[in-house]
């Protein structure tokens, strides 16, 4: 009898423990579910972007050496000079200025430009008793470039050009001025000459320039690259509509400077999630950060 009572008590305690565990787990799960529902109902803070138009283009990149728009040089014997400008000091002189007065004539600047002196190596041009004066009009620079023949259908006069050099942290603008009428059969390339604007005379003849010829330029809707999501062949963004997210499929085109061209799927003025797209989901409520 005592053994039977002990078994009954043991079983009662065992079942009580099991019931307590089940009850505790149910209680904890209900709390977790409530917390999850509460978290889901709480708006997520996001940074938005308003869809607008931006410039997009394709480009051909090459390089070339700058040549002065106009150049003038003359060799002067030192014993013939009566009076002259200081050739050792590079300076800008006006058209018609007297560069040097010689015994028999005056040397006059045929155009405005930067005056300088080219050094003569002894023995190359006779004795060292001569000066070679140079005058360069560098307000515009010419650059001859060669491009692959597959760009023949794209090249045309007036195409915009961007030129850069390691010497300056800036872009110099220009355009294509002339294009050869023939393709070089040896190199399979076509020659073109571009003109680069240099109003402050920062660039000098002989400098190597990195050239970017711009074509297929257009204005299109744009979004930041960070806002674009790609899953297989699908490309989409999260559209913000009354603070609720909507997955919006889009068709894209070119990419320039961190921007993506949108060909369809969005309109000007649409608001989308700009950053943190991995933290949001379709139909989620959001709060736009100011």
Is CATH 2.40.420.20 the right assignment for the domain spanning 44-58+219-288? yes
Q: Which of 3-17, 100-114, 115-129, 215-229 shows the lowest per-residue confidence on average (mean pLDDT)?
A: 115-129
- Which among 205, 209, 175 has a CA at the least distance from the CA of 193? 175
Domain 140-217 = CATH 1.10.10.10: no
pTM for this entry: 0.70
Dihedral over alpha carbons 18, 20, 24, 27 (to 10 degrees)? 110
Architecture, CATH, for domain 72-137: Beta Barrel (2.40)
Residue 119 above 60 pLDDT? yes
Q: Where are the domains of the chain?
A: 44-58+219-288, 72-137, 140-217
Give pLDDT, residue 277.
81
Q: Are 215 and 154 in contact (CB under 8 A)?
A: yes
Residues 193/181, Cβ–Cβ less than 8 Å: no
Under a CB-based contact definition with an 8 Å cutoff, are residues 190 and 149 in contact?
A: yes
Phi/psi of residue 182, each to 5°? -135, 150
Same CATH fold, 72-137 and 44-58+219-288?
A: no
Banded model confidence at residue 3, pLDDT cuts 50, 70, 90: low
Is the pLDDT assigned to residue 31 strictly greater than 70? no
Q: Which residue has the higher pLDDT, 36 or 76?
A: 76
CA 92 to chain centre: 34
Q: Which residues are within 8 A (CB) of 131 and not within 5 positions of it... i.e. 6 or more apart?
A: 75, 76, 78, 81, 87, 117, 120
Residue 83 has what pLDDT?
A: 81
Given a contact cutoff of 8 angstroms between Cβ atoms, the answer to whether 263 and 252 are in contact is: yes
pLDDT in tens, 151-188: 999 999 999 999 999 999 999 999 999 999 999 999 99
What pLDDT shows up at residue 150?
Answer: 93
Report pLDDT digits (tens) over 57-96.
999 999 999 999 998 888 888 887 888 777 777 788 888 8
């Amino acid at each position: 009898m005592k053994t039977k009572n002990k078994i009954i008590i043991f079983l009662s305690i065992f079942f009580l423990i099991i019931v307590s565990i089940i009850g505790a787990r149910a209680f904890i799960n209900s709390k977790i579910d409530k917390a999850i529902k509460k978290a889901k109902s709480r708006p997520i803070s996001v940074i938005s972007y308003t869809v607008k138009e931006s410039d997009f283009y394709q480009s051909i990149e090459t390089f070339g050496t700058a040549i002065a728009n106009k150049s003038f040089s003359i060799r002067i014997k030192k014993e013939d000079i009566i009076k002259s400008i200081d050739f050792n000091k590079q300076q800008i002189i006006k058209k018609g200025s007297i560069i040097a007065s010689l015994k028999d004539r005056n040397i006059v600047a045929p155009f405005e430009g930067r005056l300088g002196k080219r050094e003569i190596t002894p023995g190359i041009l006779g004795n060292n008793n001569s000066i070679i004066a140079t005058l360069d009009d560098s307000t515009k620079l010419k650059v001859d470039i060669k491009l692959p023949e597959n760009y023949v259908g794209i090249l045309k006069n007036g195409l915009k050009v961007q030129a850069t050099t390691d010497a300056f942290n800036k872009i110099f603008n220009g355009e294509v001025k002339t294009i050869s009428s023939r393709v070089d059969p040896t190199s399979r390339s076509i020659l073109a000459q571009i003109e680069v604007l240099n109003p402050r005379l920062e660039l000098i003849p002989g400098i190597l320039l990195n050239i970017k010829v711009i074509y297929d330029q257009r204005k299109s809707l744009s979004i930041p690259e960070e806002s674009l999501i790609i899953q297989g062949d699908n490309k989409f963004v999260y559209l913000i509509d009354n603070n609720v997210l909507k997955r919006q499929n889009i068709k894209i085109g070119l990419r320039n400077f961190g921007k993506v061209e949108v060909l369809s799927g969005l309109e000007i003025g649409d608001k989308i999630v700009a950053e943190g797209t991995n933290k949001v989901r379709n139909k989620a409520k959001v709060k736009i950060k100011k």
